[in-house]
Amino acid sequence: MLDSRLYRDKRRDEPVEPLSPELQMEEVTKEFINNLGRVADFFGFNRLMGQLYAVLFLSPEPLTLDDMVKSLDSSKGNVSINIRALERWGLVRQIYKWADRKNYYEAEIDIWKAISGILQERERKESRQMVDSINQSIEMLEQVSKEASAQQAATAQFYLERMEVLRRLFQFGDGLLDMMVRGGAVDFGSASKLAHSEEPGNPNRLDRGESNDLDEL
Amino acid sequence: MLDSRLYRDKRRDEPVEPLSPELQMEEVTKEFINNLGRVADFFGFNRLMGQLYAVLFLSPEPLTLDDMVKSLDSSKGNVSINIRALERWGLVRQIYKWADRKNYYEAEIDIWKAISGILQERERKESRQMVDSINQSIEMLEQVSKEASAQQAATAQFYLERMEVLRRLFQFGDGLLDMMVRGGAVDFGSASKLAHSEEPGNPNRLDRGESNDLDEL
DNA sequence: TAGAACGTTTAGAATTTTTTAAACGATGTA
DNA sequence: TACATCGTTTAAAAAATTCTAAACGTTCTA
């Protein structure tokens, strides 16, 4: 898809004629746009969102819709929709210019800020949803294991054990996300113990007030 | 999609007639399968993979292809393909029974083990790819900023600054993944500084040998 | 008031992903 | 040998996602 002379496999050492600076810049830009497109896909957004962010990220000045339509060769409607999605995620912001009806956009360069927001609003939502659902299930299973026949109670008990494993995992994940957003510290030494149901003996404390040992969750 | 009596909105307090233990177990199971399907989707797999894992996760004995086809009401081909994908990711393993031609499958219960593998092989691949590409770009831009006109050199310089920001981010991410896999500790206090180009003054050391301060990457 | 410039919405087209049903090959059994 | 069982492959269908081009409403300008 990418027709790049610069990024091709270096092992075949064909003579690489030097490219003009203009072309080199163009290659760098294209490669970058492609990459962010792929990354966006990977993270559950879509290619165009990544590409739009890339274009803005490499632009010294804010750009208009039509600027972006041109540089990405996409349609105006598509760009309009996706740029607004980027805005909602805090990855892009709008700039207003005096006496200019056009909307200008620029990339949020403090990426960590944007990522924190995404983690908080998207990933944590997911983990909480899972934990909540599992907790409800556990409640129900405890009910069942009392009321039901021995046979059923045994199954319920089995479910309970398994559910508990997953609950720990997702709570671990949620704790991790929380630390990422709030700037705490996390020790993954405990993560490998997630599958086992023993109580944590002595949690490994870290040396900052903000830290959090995930075993305790 | 889910026709659940138990998980419906509790705020409308219609009288909830008690369900039989059988039905309760069924509800719990369905809810769980649905949830893992959604989660799998969220993480870039697909719904069926999550559902298959869920079914195996809640089964005391290993199951055959046809067992899973029945409990998920999917086609054999589809299950075959997706169960093998799960196998490749280390989320499911095959069990052989003597004098039985059928293949039996069971879930990997030590989930953290499986997740580590995924992080190592999928997410880290992504981050490394990005870092490598950016590094190549930076090299090229440094070239350009020497050879080119003042005008072009200025643009190259601008690109360089922006690229550096992203390089830091993805290296941070890669370091984080590495710590997750290897069981180290990570301090997210430094993450918020990612966007700024100042050198880290005094890295916050953590109290275990395995720890790693991401500023230093 | 007419028309241009701009961003959004929308209906449908194009593309990608997921699913199915049937064909197939391999292995076992009567 | 004939037949049944089992898992994989495959071609096509179905579903979901992404994209486009045109219509539209607003706002500004001549």
- Looking at the complex, does the CB of residue A112 fall below 8 Å from at least one CB of chain B? yes
B29 alpha carbon, distance to own chain's centre: 23
Q: Among A25, A134, A183, whose Cβ lies nearest the Cβ of B188?
A: A183
| Full-model pTM | 0.87
**A84: pLDDT strictly greater than 80:** yes
Whether the CB of A203 is below 8 Å from some CB of chain B: the reply is: no
Please list, in sequence order, all residues whose beta carbon lies within 8 angstroms of the beta carbon of residue A101, skipping any fewer than 6 positions away.
Answer: none
pLDDT bucket at B164, cuts 50 / 70 / 90: very high
Mean pLDDT over B43-60 rounds to 98
Judge whether B58 is closer than 8 Å to chain A, CB to CB: yes
| Chain B residues whose beta carbon lies within 8 Å of the beta carbon of residue A112 | 169, 191-192, 194-195
Q: What is the mean pLDDT of residues B136-150?
A: 93
Lowest mean pLDDT among B18-22, B194-198, B199-203: B199-203
Instruction: State, as a whole number of angstroms, the distance between the CA of B202 and the C1' of C21.
Output: 64
What confidence score (pLDDT) does residue B22 get? 87
pLDDT tens sequence across A52-69 = 999 999 999 999 999 999
Question: Which residue does chain A place closest to B160, by CA atoms?
Answer: A58
Task: Enumerate the residues of chain B whose CB falls inside 8 A of the CB of residue A39.
Answer: 126, 130
> Is B139 touching A (CB cutoff 8 A)?
no
B28 to chain A: closest CA residue: A137
Residue pair B127/B177 in contact (Cβ under 8 Å)? The answer is yes
Rounded alpha-carbon distances, angstroms, from residue B33 to A108, B27, B50: 38, 10, 7
What pLDDT does A148 receive?
A: 82
Instruction: Enter the DSSP assignment of B186.
Output: E
Model confidence over A108-167: pLDDT tens digits? 999 999 999 999 999 999 999 999 999 999 999 999 999 888 999 999 999 999 999 999
Protein B201 CA to nucleic acid C15 C1', in Å? 50
In this model, does residue B85 exceed pLDDT 70?
Answer: yes
Judged against a pLDDT cut of 50, whether residue B2 lies above it is answered with no
In degrees to the nearest 10, what's the CA dihedral of B26, B31, B36, B42? Answer: 160
Which band of pLDDT confidence, cut at 50, 70 and 90, is reported for residue A72?
very high
For residue B14, the model assigns a pLDDT of: 62
**Per-residue confidence (pLDDT) for residue B12, from 0 to 100:** 58
> Which residues bind near strand D, taking a CB cut-off of 7 Å?
A 46-48, 73-78, 81-82, 99, 101; B 64-66, 76-77, 80-81, 83-84, 101-103
Q: Rounded to whole angstroms, how far apart are CA atoms A137 and A130?
A: 11
Looking at the predicted structure, is the pLDDT value of residue B1 above 90? no
- Tell me, what's the pLDDT at B117? 96
Q: Which of A102-106, A107-111, B85-89, B197-201 has the lowest mean pLDDT?
A: B197-201
Calculate the average pLDDT of chain B.
87
